[in-house]
Structure 1
Amino acid sequence: MTTELSGIVVIDKPPGPTSHEVAAWVRDILGVRTGQGGTLDPMVSGVLIVMLGRGVKIAEHLLAHEKEYICVLELHGDVPREKIEETVAEFQGRIYQRPPRRSAVKRALRIRTIYAIEVLDVEGRLVLLRVRCEAGTYIRSLCVHIGLALGVRGQMAELRRTSSGGFTEADAHTLHELADAKARADEGDPEALGKMILPLERAVGEIPRIVLRDTAVDAVCRGAQLAGAGILSCGTFAKGETVAFMTEAGEIVGLGTARVGSDRCKPGKHGIVARPKSNLMDPGRYPRGWTKKSRVK
């Protein structure tokens, strides 16, 4: 059985193509199924996480990552820099937003959190901003609201995503770089491509972890619920929260949903602790540590 290539590649998306088009080009280059974590509008550039193979199963988690952007706000009137900085600072924290008309989602009022917002430079009516925000924040709407608060109106002129979760521009590669690395790999030099494809473990760093006994790994890979008897240790989590199943060697087995809080997780004891929801490891990688019970005749 051939193991499907799995992992993450971070693409420096250029302005123009859609995120779906970029993911499709990665699929064609590598010959593996793909999905993207966190869609960027066509004219927005920057960090786009593309999941490979089994990695597409963690899309929901990647979509929830905190994001950082550098954007250019174009004001429609002249405003002193001091006033711009004072007004921009007021947008840090929880804000109301309604998705712009051109968005693909329902235009319902929602609350999003701006963790940090900073004026980097002002040149005439152009304001360069750095924004660190909750997933699902519309920077276009934020720019419009800042312009209204300044009394001159304004609009987003340019936008670039500089980070998504723990992935930054330093991890990103252009599509041309990826294609060149794949060509070299096909010629017998896989080093460059190997460095570009990041392990799935990088994507689950913030999720509470449950470390499995080696004898429990194969059963979880096959969909079995996880009991305390199969656990070596666990992090801190609440009932219903997403947890990451890990091997003692630090490999990701999959994601699960906690059936109890971590205060009730007793390694080595009986009782169901979590159920799997996304399997990221092929069965058979670890020795089978369980047996089927014979039917009573």
Structure 2
Amino acid sequence: MNGIIKVDKPQGPTSHDVVERVRKISGMRVGHAGTLDPFASGLLIVGIGEGTRILEYFLDFPKTYEAVARLGIVTDTYDRTGKIMERSECVADEQMVRDVFLSFIGEYYQVPPMYSAKKISGRKLYELAREGKIITMPPSKVMIYEIKVEKVDLPYVEFKTVVSGGTYIRALCRDIGIKLGCGAITEELRRTKVGPFDLEGSINPFDKDLINCEEIMSLEEVTKYLFKTVVINESGEKKMRNGMPLKIEDLIAYEDFKKGEVLRVLSKEKLISLSIAQRSSNFFDTVKKHERHDLLLKPKKVFLH
């Protein structure tokens, strides 16, 4: 039971609750890639066993969301669960609302919400906020790849958006509300996609007593979406399992890649390691041609499953 499961998190539980539930019903080490707020639902990537070791590579993927913004209100959490701080009449018409939403497409600097899992000095912001310690984080550059306004029924606006990793939809709605001059919160939020992974085949662990093997995406299946591939022979596998770098004679086949790139290394269709390319694939061809013995792949993570 080593790999990734796609969880369709319901509204209410925290991401940590999901991890604890999956850990209980699987009996394995479990982690997740990318927190979802308790009031939000949708896709949470969960690693089981050795799958926890590749979760870091999901964090920079674009994320797709379906959301509802409510105009004319401000809360301390920037969503419907927070304490109301302000109410304002929204005088914008539908076209103005649509124009402001679309104006956020592209790069912009976003200040993370105070009530978030982002850490400062090892502590989560929401923990500090609950203690009354309000800290304004410096803005981070985020990318809004796409916004599609589905429906305007003021004060509610339904929209879909694709954003870079690290983007907060609550903060996006806050900033849209500021630009409209009336404030806004996130009323509903559902994540439907993380990079190439969608909700198809996802599970709700709170409706299950055990996890079946067919619900787990293998490391081999998942990593083909994350990394270029190198195939090695038996001697290369022995070296890599002992943490040794590989030479050209240990390789059977490889895709094009750049120096410094993380690669997945397979032997007999099994994932052996994630390794760092010490040279580009073009240089590999040169080494092969001139029968040199340069060290070409340095293991970063070795998998013993």
**Range class of TM-score, shorter chain:** 0.7 to 0.9
8 Å contact kept, 2:63–2:164: yes
Matched residue type, 1:277: K
- Structure 1: state its 5+ residue gaps: 183-192, 283-297
- 1:264 matched to 2:257: no
Residue 229 of structure 1 and its aligned partner are, at CA, apart by 1.8
Q: 2:258 aligns to what SS in structure 1?
A: coil
Q: 1:52 to 1:158 in 2, by over 3 A?
A: same
What's the counterpart of residue 280 of structure 1?
Answer: 303
Q: 2:249 aligns to what SS in structure 1?
A: helix
What's the counterpart of residue 214 of structure 2?
Answer: 195
Segment drifting more, 22-31 vs 198-207: 198-207
What's the counterpart of residue 61 of structure 1?
Answer: 57
What's the counterpart of residue 124 of structure 2?
Answer: none
Structure of higher RCO (CA pairs closer than 8 Å, 6+ residues apart):
2
Question: Take 2:149 and 2:56, find their aligned partners in 1: how far apart are those partners?
Answer: 31
Q: Cα deviations across residues 133-186 of structure 1 (Å, max 9, x unaligned)?
A: 11111111111111122222211112111111222111211114442x54xxxx
8 Å contact kept, 1:94–1:114: yes
- Structure 2: state its 5+ residue gaps: 73-89, 121-136
Matched residue type, 2:11: P
What's the counterpart of residue 228 of structure 2?
Answer: 208
- Give the number of aligned pairs: 266
Q: 2:157 aligns to what SS in structure 1?
A: strand
Question: Which of 7, 13, 22 is residue 11 of structure 1 equivalent to?
Answer: 7
- 1:254 matched to 2:273: yes
Q: TM-score, normalised by structure 2?
A: 0.81
CA-atom RMSD, angstroms? 1.9
What's the counterpart of residue 289 of structure 1?
Answer: none
Q: 2:162 aligns to what SS in structure 1?
A: strand
Q: 1:200 to 1:178 in 2, by over 3 A?
A: farther
8 Å contact kept, 1:74–1:156: yes
What's the counterpart of residue 132 of structure 1?
Answer: 162
- 1:161 matched to 2:184: no
Segment drifting more, 131-140 vs 229-238: 229-238
- 1:25 matched to 2:44: no
8 Å contact kept, 1:55–1:280: no
Q: 2:253 aligns to what SS in structure 1?
A: strand
Matched residue type, 1:15: Q
Q: 2:57 aligns to what SS in structure 1?
A: helix
Matched residue type, 1:108: P
Residue 196 of structure 1 and its aligned partner are, at CA, apart by 0.8
Residue 275 of structure 1 and its aligned partner are, at CA, apart by 1.1
Question: Take 2:255 and 2:188, find their aligned partners in 1: how far apart are those partners?
Answer: 41
Q: 1:56 aligns to what SS in structure 2?
A: helix
